[in-house]
Amino acid sequence: MNDIKLRFVNDSDADRGTSVIILQKNYATSIDEFLVAWKVIRNCAKDCYHPFTYSNEIEINVMDTYGNYTIEKEVEPGQQYEMVKRGFNDILTLKGEASSPVEVEVVNNLKQGAITVNALRSGRLLARKAAIPPCQKAVFQFKPFIYVGAVSEVVKEGQVFESAIISQINTEFSLIGISRADIIMTGGGVGSTATSYQFSLANVEWL
């Protein structure tokens, strides 16, 4: 499938310290699990825009206990990968089918050592499962929905959120059937006239 072209447009009265965060949820895990800042937009002034791409492809890589990463592999729902030792090397390889056709699984089949499994979209960290021990697995399921919000904290892409921040990233957009769209932010301001930030989709082009 083709990538989706998105554009954040600031039509608000936000101050320059506001960070706009875009993320996705891993539906294969508990809703209480921490989420990752997939895309962060900062210092985008009023009447300016910030373009970015939402790839329909998911990649995974694995980090070992020494901080070494495997090369990213493009994955499909319904696939199971495993981390195994071949000779002197730990490698990530396709094993077969996952337990569910909508999930991607990564099994730690090393004899010792925990692993961290990262899921990436458009080259940016989307979700992470840390400290997976031998004989256990990380499971990912993503739906074509994004969540958008604005926070006053300085946030970096790939940062794991605390629950207090997550509650502010609560505007959901479906990307089903979309090839291009603008995400418009309104609201903001200071004092008695300030309003909460609002997000909407505009200029939507369909497949």
Q: How many domains does the chain have?
A: 2
Q: What is the pLDDT of residue 33?
A: 67
Same domain, 100 and 132: yes
Q: Tokens representing 85?
A: 């030792």
Who's near 201: CB < 8 A, 6+ residues apart?
173, 181, 182, 183, 184
Same domain, 182 and 117: no
Q: What is the pLDDT of residue 192?
A: 82
Same domain, 80 and 128: yes
Same domain, 129 and 154: no
37 and 152 Cβ atoms separated by less than 8 Å: no
Same domain, 109 and 75: yes
Q: What is the pLDDT of residue 34?
A: 75
pTM (two decimals): 0.94
Phi, psi angle pair for 163, to nearest 5°: -60, -30
Q: What is the pLDDT of residue 16?
A: 77
Q: What is the pLDDT of residue 148?
A: 98
Structural domain boundaries, residue 154: 13-46+143-206
In a domain, 53, yes or no: no
Q: Walk along the chain (207 residues) and give the pLDDT tens digit of each residue.
A: 789 999 999 999 988 789 999 999 999 987 656 799 999 999 999 999 999 999 999 999 999 999 999 999 999 999 999 999 999 899 999 999 999 999 999 999 999 999 999 999 999 999 999 999 999 999 999 999 999 999 988 899 999 886 667 888 999 999 999 999 999 999 998 888 889 999 999 999 999
Same domain, 166 and 131: no
Same domain, 68 and 134: yes
State the DSSP code for 193.
G
In a domain, 3, yes or no: no
